[in-house]
Amino acid sequence: MLDFELTVYILVCYFVCVIGGFIPFFIKLLPNRKLAGEILDICSASAGGLFLSGGLMHMLAEGNDMIDHSGYDFMGLPLGFFCCGCSFLFIFFFDRVVVTHGGHASFEDVEKMSGEENDSLMEEWSHRHKHPEEEKEEGKGWCSIITLIFALSLHSFFEGLGLGVSTSPTAIFIAVAGHKWADSGFTVIFLMSKIQSLPIVAVIVLVFSTFTPIGSLCGVLIVELLGESPISELIQGILICLAAGTFLYVAICEILTEQFENGKYKYIKFTLAIILFLAMSFVTMLEGN
């Protein structure tokens, strides 16, 4: 059943994602966009500790416990770790093999997108004139945009799924809410460089933000339909381990690896990531007790 606590978590995740999507627009209104972008990038990098601890110490551990407790034997195959690895590779395939989005976005990119003659976002979009060759390239670019949004929505769905099926969702909620704003903001920065229409970008943000709540509701529905039985524990454990793979992907490939590529403030970012990793581990320990 969808209890009050989980309902609040789902709603907060949705609004955090929506607000994060409009952060690039807010940054463009600030007098010192570069400093604001750097601060947000540091905050985003530190969230890697949340996802790493949430995926390893909370979700993967809980999923494996459920699979073991179900009593099913898989001829020595560590099913939980196998499912985690499969979901990691599945998301990696869509995000890095299928999608070619030209590297990781940064909140500092908002500063680069503001030309002196077109400082206003609406002026920048309304005064662009494209040649026929550029229009053809824009048409091709829609394929990469759609594929990118699909990939991001896919692992947002799995994050929500883990939130919905978990027996102790607090740690998962903290990890998701701690990074979802940045995930949404980076997506908008990419879209701002490809799409000229502000309403289209806004609609994409609103649709993208719904996938975590949809995943959570699907997780709750699955638990309700299966009830309390060994097969229910098995399926819940598998789903949580699948979601853990997406958490590890976000932590390793999207945050810890990419946020340290430019080398700026790397010691501050790493220190904050460790602090949040330990904090999330402490939350997991409290939930276990």
Task: State how far the Cα of 201 lies from the Cα of 21, in Å rounded to an integer.
Answer: 9
Picking from 55, 36, 7, the residue whose alpha carbon sits closest to that of residue 176 is: 55
CA distance 101 to 79: 33
Report whether 121 contacts 197 (CB < 8 A). Answer: no
Q: Number of helices (H) and strands (E), helices first, in the chain?
A: 13, 0
- Decide: 276 and 178 in contact? Cβ < 8 Å: yes
CA-CA distance, 57 to 53, in Å (whole number)?
5
Q: What angle do CA 209, 155, 237 make, to 5 degrees?
A: 120
Q: What is the pLDDT of residue 36?
A: 75
Instruction: Report whether 239 contacts 157 (CB < 8 A).
Output: no
The amino acid at 11: L
| Distance set, CA 81 to CA 65, 172, 178 (Å) | 11, 18, 25
Q: Identify the pLDDT of residue 238.
A: 93
Q: What is the pLDDT of residue 147?
A: 66
* Three-state SS at 56: helix
Distance between first and last Cα of the chain: 23
Residue 132 CB partners (closer than 8 Å, separation 6+) = none
Per-residue pLDDT at 117:
35
Q: Which residue is associated with the tokens 């309700």?
A: 224
Rounded Cα gap, residues 231 and 237, in angstroms = 10
Task: Name the helix (H) or strand (E) containing 1.
Answer: none
Could you tell me the residue ranges of all domains in the chain? 4-112+134-288
CA dist 58 to 62, 76, 173, Å? 6, 23, 11
> What is the chain's length?
289
- Residue 5's pLDDT is 87
Neighbours of 218 (CB within 10 A): 16
Render each residue's pLDDT in the chain as its tens digit; 289 residues: 568 889 999 999 999 999 988 887 777 777 877 777 787 778 777 778 888 988 898 889 989 999 999 989 888 899 999 999 999 999 888 878 876 555 555 666 655 554 443 344 444 434 444 445 455 455 445 666 676 677 778 778 888 988 888 877 888 888 888 878 877 877 777 677 667 677 888 888 888 889 999 999 998 998 888 887 888 889 989 999 998 998 898 889 878 887 777 778 889 989 998 998 998 888 777 766 5
Closest CA to 53 of 41, 61, 63: 61
Q: What is the CA radius of gyration of the chain?
A: 20
